[in-house]
Amino acid sequence: MVILSLLLNLVCLVLTIIVLIHAFKNSVGWGFACLCIPFVIIYYVFAKFEHPNKSMIMTGYILAYIGSIVFALAAQPAY
């Protein structure tokens, strides 16, 4: 379970880097905002992100993020 969680975190990281590159190409302000301010990257993906594979990137990002949390919590020992 831990390996699957780490793999999904890696997928989420790659998709985040794709969005950050697009944000920095759009403007330096959006790039730093997405990098430094929590949840701005989610707003940017829904409002400003224009990419031919936008729906796949959004879906992959959300599913990888939620899946990594679920598998990380499932790997915790029951006390």
pLDDT in tens, the chain (79 residues): 889 989 999 999 999 999 999 999 999 999 999 999 988 988 999 999 998 999 999 999 889 989 999 998 988 887 7
pTM summary value: 0.84
The secondary structure element, H or E, covering residue 11 is helix 2-26
Domain boundaries, the chain: 2-74
The tokens for 63 are 């599913």
